[in-house]
Structure formats: structure tokens, C-alpha cells
Structure 1
């Protein structure tokens, strides 16, 4: 796969990045063997960008990703992890699980929000230990929604120092809202925004401020949540949108989107994957997978052409705003 730099940094990312929450047992357990095979399949497909976080499975995702990458040339891939949640051993925990936070793992630790400078460094050191790496390429402030001022005053300057020291290559923020990432773009020198669920076929809120700000300032944007919690993979009653059952108007819109894409012989899933690449600020699309088959399915959809007429019909039916740019070519080349 080709690569693109993040903002003014030297960190390069592939168009498709593997999100590693699923191999941290998101919602249900994945075996060690399946997790390893998933990362191997992504590697075989040309993916060289991997995203994880301490939050994902109370460190399980980082440990599994590190194991899967062990032995591969370190300069041949990029890893991003996140700070803002420290993992503290829970000595009072019984045999319970972490499913209340979405992960099928034993509740051996509890998450403690910490956007102090010391918390940033501690979190990164612990992540490096779990990953088995001496450095990560990108560090993101993870969901600082309720800690905005501390994240701006304390956590971000700590990341800026780590970048200046060469400890990390790029810094940014990862969120599923637009207002605070836009503020970070205006007030700091971040390299990248990981924007989840806010620039999709269903929700183009990111087009109002985040994407134009990033483009104007030469910053990179990684788009996550392109399926809006699964609704754009199989829209039907009971499907989830933003981690909750989809409201009827949103479900109806997704069903209309599927009708249009089907007329062109394109799965809705494929159109959803392609759409973000139309914007020049988008450097990569991040998708999760828990099996090699899911990786291969995603790669196959990204390699198939999407006709211009599909985007034209979406606009004509009011399903795509007139200001939303659309991709011209498939983001992934056919294998040679």
C-alpha cells in the first residue's frame, strides 16, 4: 500500500489502518491465535498502520498487538496508542468481567482518568512495556471530553515535549465528537485527529469544522467508525448506531442509502469505506477486525471501484450533502 505522512510529522500511515479494539476482546472473546492471525492477515494485505489503547481489554490489545508485530522490522510499520486512562490494579475485584466497559476480559484493573503530564508519561511507559516496543509512532489523547481544560493545559504540552525529544513522532487527539478536536486544531500544534463516527455516509458533522481546519493547517485526519457502530454494514431494526439501537429516522436513512448503492451493484459497506477518502485531509481509514476473514472482506471492498454515478444519485436523493467531496479512485491498488 502507498503511505501518507501525518501533518508535518515524519510518521507515515497506510490508507487502511487496523484498529485493535476487537483483538482486545471487544464485546466477546477472541483467542490469542485468532488475534495473531488477524494481524498477520492485515500485514499480508499491506496494512502497516496499527492503532491500540490501554482501554482496549485492559491492556490485552496492546499485549497481543506487540506479540503479533514481534520480529517484524520496526521501521516497516507504525503504531499508535493513547493516553488519558491509567490502568490501576483492582485488588478488590472478584471473578467479574469488564463487559460493563465493553470488553470480555477479567476485571483485574480499573481505569483512572489522568490527563496530567505525569499521567501521560506513566501511561506511555506502561504501554511500551505491554507492547514490547521501545517507541510508538503516534500518541493520541483518548476521549478527553470531560477533561478538556486539563488535556489542553497539561496533557498536550507533555505530548509536545515527548515529540520534541523524539520519543514519539506524532501527537494528536482521538474522539467521537467534533467541537473539541476542532479546538485542538486551532489552539495546539497537533499532527493528527482520529475522528470516529463523525465523517461517514450517515453523519458528515466533521465536514463543518474539523476537516476544513485540518486541511487548512496541513494536519492529518484518520477516520474511524465508518460503519457507525455497525448500522452501515447491515441496516435493520435493532442495529446499533453510536453504540445504541439506531433511532428510526437514522435507520430509515441507512436503508435508503443501501437502496441506492444496491442499484449500482455496490454493497453499502463498500461505499461507506470509500466515502471518507474523498476529502484531502483524510490520511487513513481505521477499521477493526477480529478475524482474517474480516480483514480480507474490508480489503476487498476497498479495492473494488465505486462508480461516480452512485455518488451523483446519493446527492440527487438528498442523502449526501452538496459540499461533501467524493473519492475518484479506489484507495487501494490492485495487488500486482
Structure 2
């Protein structure tokens, strides 16, 4: 098991598995892989030393696939649940609903305890943060989950203002944030530094911004034409420094203080192999890092916040 008495110990690459349960990503050309292909992909990752796997109850068949594949193994599974209480829901209702969701995930994953369980939708914390946090503490105490966590949804100023005290709360030991070469918001607003000081285990997703950074300008949908400038500037940096775009994107996040693991998905075992190579790739030059921080300090939220692409 990739967890010990001192906390959560993920591999530097955490395999994102939303692609195994549903079609996902603006740059996805292959759709959802078959179960056979998914098992080949998971075997490639496991045999290559990937210990941690990110999923969620909302990711279609993902939990079920992981449960079947890992039945006789002990990976670090990070899964997530969404809470949607009706107005006026009591703390008892919150705990009962959470318990039902956890039991469903336990059944699909074929485990007796969830190594890491995160809250998937932060909006619910505005009105129900205290009872949800209390329920998480209860589930940890009972052993239904090993560690509790929060997955930041959108990276907006409003979300961080609402979530700041909960992110610091000792109940939540694992935090997932979206961050990439175009989106530096957790750095600039001080969140990453705060999480590091608080001793949280930080997982970063959206390293490739759902594949947006790979797209050609002519392939961008009309609602993302504003991304042309940042993507062109990113490609120019990659070419000028002779540093491959994918490696640039990974190394920029991987070597950031306070980041423990990068959540990167894959649709084929070849992509898993490529991602493992990127995780082991070279660091970027300090001058390049400084240029990235300066060039992309004000990328519009419409470009770097996927839920605003619709």
C-alpha cells in the first residue's frame, strides 16, 4: 500500500482514469477505450511503478474497472464523491448520504476502506461545510476512509475565498488543484504555499489543460478563439528553448515546491509509457520558468477554466 503512518505517499505520476469510464477531454480523438485496452493501460502503469490512481464516482465505469483490475493489488486509490443536499438538510442527512456514497464506492472498488476520499464539488461547502467536514472526520475515525481531501473545482477567486479555511483544516490531508503552464492561480493567490506550509499532500491535475495546449489554432472551437494567443506564445517558447511542449508542461508543474504528484490521464498504454517518460524527464531552465510566469500571468479565465468553455 502506498500509504504509511506519516501520511499519503503517491507516486510522482498519478494515473487519471476518467478516460477509462467516459469520453473525456477537448483533444480526445479516441473516445473511451475498451475494457481490454483499459486493463492493458493499467498494467502498463502498475508494472512501470505508478502506485496512485485518481477516479471518482462520477467517472462512469472507472471505479468498477479499477476494482476488477486491482482486486489482488494494493494501489493508492484517490476517489471522489459529490454532495447535493437539499435546502435545509440536517447534519444527520449529510452523514447518511455520505455513508451511502462511500459504501457504493467501496463496493465498486472492491475494498474495505478508501485510501483517499475527496469532496468533488466545492460549491456545497458554502452552506454545508461544517457538517460535511464533521462527517469526513467520522468516516476517517471509523476507518471507512484512510484520508480525507478536497478537489478544487474551478480555481476562481470566489472559490478560494470560500474554501480557504477548509483547505487549511487538519481534517483534509490531501488537496487536488488544477494548475498548468497557462494557469498559475494557485501560485499567485498563495494557495500552493499555504498548502505546503500546512503539510498537505498536493495532487495537480489539468497539466495539459484537457489537451488544449496541444491544439492547433485552426482546430479551436469558436468559444476558445481567445486561446490562440497564449497557445502560440507557448509554442514559440518551446521552439526557442528547444524544449518539447509536453515536457515543458510536465516539468513546469513537477518541480514546483509543494507539488507531490501530477494527475495525468491516458487513453492507450503507449500514452502511459509517454507520460512516465515525461515524469522522468529533465527540468526546465530557470530562465524559461521565469518567462512562463511572466508571459502567462493574465490569461483570461475563459481560457483556463474548462467549465466556462461551454
TM-score tier by shorter-chain length is 0.7 to 0.9
Change (3 A) 1:156 1:313: closer
Question: Which structure's relative contact order is higher, taking Cα pairs within 8 Å and 6+ residues apart?
Answer: 2
Instruction: Classify 1:165/1:217 alpha carbon distance in 2 versus 1 (closer, same or farther; 3 Å).
Output: same
The Cα of 1:283 is off from its aligned counterpart by: 1.0
Secondary structure of the corresponding residue to residue 285 of structure 1:
strand
Report the CA distance shift for 1:151/1:19 in structure 2 as closer, same or farther (over 3 A).
farther
Q: What is the aligned counterpart of 2:51 among 48, 51, 63?
A: 48
Secondary structure in 2 matching 1:286: strand
| Structure-2 separation of matches of 1:172 and 1:182 | 13
1:119 Cα offset (Å): 1.3
Deviations 1:12-51 (A, max 9, x none): 1111001110000224332110111111111122100011
- 1:283 and 2:260 aligned: yes
Query: Which of 247, 263, 273 is the equivalent residue of 2:250?
Result: 273
Equivalent residue for 1:67?
68
Match of 1:39 in 2: 42
Aligned to 1:12: 9
Q: Is the 8 A contact 2:181 2:252 kept in 1?
A: yes
The equivalences for 1:1-336 within 5 A come to: 10-27=7-24, 28-57=31-60, 60-72=61-73, 74=74, 77-85=75-83, 116-145=94-123, 147-178=124-155, 179=160, 180-187=162-169, 189-196=171-178, 199-207=179-187, 208-239=189-220, 245-248=223-226, 250-308=227-285, 311=288, 314=291, 318-319=294-295
Counting strand residues as a fraction of each chain, which structure ranks higher? 1
More helix by share: 2
Aligned length: 277
Contact 1:141 1:174 survives alignment (8 Å): yes
Counterpart Cα distance in 2 of 1:144 and 1:312: 30
CA displacement, residues 33-92 of structure 1 (integer Å, 9 cap, x when unaligned): 0111111111122100011111001xx1000011111222x2xx2101112258xxxxxx
SS at 2:213 equivalent: coil
Distance across 2 between alignment mates of 1:84 and 1:154: 14
Alpha-carbon contact 1:30-1:290 (below 8 Å) kept:
yes
What is the CA–CA distance in structure 2 between the aligned matches of 1:182 and 1:238, rounded to whole Å? 37
Summarize the Cα distance change of 1:139–1:292 in structure 2 as closer, same or farther, 3 Å threshold: same
Separation in structure 2 between the aligned mates of residue 217 and residue 235 of structure 1, nearest angstrom: 40
Label 1:285 to 1:312 Cα distance change in 2 as closer, same or farther (>3 A): closer
Tell me the secondary structure at the aligned position of residue 215 of structure 2: coil
Q: TM-score, normalised by structure 2?
A: 0.81
Q: CA deviation at 1:10?
A: 2.6
CA contact (8 A) 2:136 2:171 kept: no
**1:9 to partner: Cα distance:** 5.2
Structure 1 residues 254 and 181, CA gap change in structure 2 (3 angstroms) = farther
The change in CA–CA distance for 1:186 and 1:71 in structure 2 (over 3 A counts) is closer
Q: What is the CA distance between 1:193 and its match in structure 2? A: 1.1
Structure 1 residues not aligned, in runs of 5+: 87-114, 322-336
